[in-house]
Structure 1
C-alpha cells in the first residue's frame, strides 16, 4: 500500500519517543508533529534527519484502513493498547 498523501495520521496519532528536529523530546500521542506541514506532508521526508521510527513505518491496509479518518481511528486505538 502507498501512503495517502495528505493523510498525516501517522504524524499525529502515535507518540514518538525519539527526538524529532524541533521536538527534542519526541511527541506525545494525538499531537501534531512540528514537521507536518499545512498539507499534512512531512517536511523531513527523504532527509537523513527523519527519525528511524518514521522511516520504519510502512503503510498497511490493516493500520491505515480505507480513509484518512479510519487511519486516525486505527492508530489512536493501537496507541492506547500498546
Structure 2
C-alpha cells in the first residue's frame, strides 16, 4: 500500500518518544507533530534528523484503513492498546 499523501494520521495519533526537531522530548499521542505542515506533509521527510520510527513506518491497510479518518481511528486504537 502507498501512503496517502496529506493523511497525517501517523504524525498525530501515536506517541513518539524519539526526539523530533522542535520537539526534543518527542510528542504525546494525539498531538500534531510540529514537522507536519498545513497540507499534512512531513517537513523533514527524507532528512537525517527525521526519527527512525517515522522512517520505518509502513503504510498498511490494517493500520491505515481505507480513508484518512479511518487511519486516525485505527492508529488511535493501536496507541491506546499499546500504551504503558
SS at match of 1:76: helix
Q: Which stretches in structure 1 are left out of the alignment for 5+ residues?
A: none
> How many residue pairs align between the two structures?
82
Runs of 4+ aligned residues of structure 1 deviating over 2 Å after TM superposition are none
1:11 alignment counterpart: 11
Give TM-score, length-normalised by structure 1: 0.99
> 2:68 aligns to what?
68
Q: Which runs of 5+ in 2 are unaligned?
A: none
Q: CA RMSD in A?
A: 0.3
TM-score (norm 2): 0.97
Query: 1:5 deviation in Å?
Result: 0.5
